Homo-oligomer: A and B are copies of this chain.
Amino acid sequence: MSTEQSVTHGYTQDKAAYSRRLKRIEGQVRGIQRMIDEDTYCIDVLTQISAIQSALKSVSLGLMEEHLGHCVRHAVEHAHDTGDTTEMDTKLAEANAAIARLVKS
C-alpha cells in the first residue's frame, strides 16, 4: 500500500490502535450473540450493548478529532494560501454533517 502522495488521514499513525479497538468491539458483538443464544437476562444483554455503544462513540470521537486536526486543518491552510476556499468549504460541511450524525446516532 504505497502512499507516496496523500492518502494519509488523521488516523493513519494510529491504525494499529484503531484495529485493536475494533477487533475488541467485534468480539463484544459476538459476545452479545452468545448471550442471546444462551437466553441471558435481557437487562444484562442491554448493559453489554451500552458498553459497545460507548466504545464505538469513543472511536468516532477519536476519528473526528484527528479529522479536524489533519484534513480540516490542511484544507484551511490550503484555502489561506491560495484564496480558493472550495475544498475547505466541502471539508467543513462534511465535518458538520458528521458531527450531527454522531450526535443523533
Q: Which residues of A contact B (CB under 8 A)?
A: 1, 3, 7-12, 15, 18-19, 22-23, 25-26, 29-30, 32-33, 36-39, 41-43, 45-47, 49-54, 56-57, 59-61, 63-69, 71-73, 76-77, 80-81, 88, 92, 94-96, 98-105
**B10 x A61 contact (CB < 8 A):** no
In the assembly, what is the distance between CA of A66 and CA of B39, in Å? Answer: 13
**Cross-chain contact A98 with B9 (CB below 8 angstroms):** no
How many subunits of this chain does the assembly comprise? 4
CB distance from A4 to the nearest CB of B (A): 13
Task: Point out the residue from B11, B18, B43 that lies within 8 Å of A98, measured CB to CB.
Answer: B43
Q: Which residue of B lies closest to A43 (CB)?
A: B94
